[in-house]
Amino acid sequence: FSAGMIDIARQRNPEIPYDVADMITYRPEARYDLVTCTGDALNHIAALSDVEQIFRNVRSYTAEGGYFIFDILNENEVSTSEPFEMDFSDTVRVWFQMTRPGNKQVNLKIRVYEQDALQFEEIIRETVHAPTTICNLLRKTGFEVVKCENRLLDTNNPGTTWFIIARR
């Protein structure tokens, strides 16, 4: 999700090509049946005009009838938290702490450890966008909104994320 994480992924998986680009300007030549954007990546874009440009670009490389699936933060579920850790393997763990410095703003402090040695630390700043606003921008840019819910599966448990499925 960040330059540091991509560096680790490249070191571990040198045979996989990684495109690292600006979401606002990225426009590959190929067309895809499925485009995904996970990890609340769109919340890293503060200006709605830039989000709209991303949607226009994604539409240009999504095949006719293809899908664009992504997630955004659920403002009602994002709260300041005590630090917590997640183990990603026997040797890699990630420390997280979320803070809310202002209205619609979220900071996520991350530390990545490997073999208990700190690999890198960063603060990721995110903007919480209303799902209705995001879905309206999708429609404006020519997508059909198939699903916009705060749960991925058909359960009664709302989550911390909105899952959006759009079709070209």
- Tell me the per-residue pLDDT of 115-167, one tens digit each, with 9 for 90 and over: 999 998 988 888 999 999 999 999 999 999 999 988 766 666 666 789 999 99
Q: For residue 148, how many other CB atoms are within 10 A of its CB?
A: 16
Contacts 24+ apart (CB under 8 A), 99-105: 104/75, 104/128, 104/129
pLDDT of 20 strictly over 90: no
CA nearest to 62, candidates 41, 34, 42, 37: 34
Q: How much is the pTM?
A: 0.77
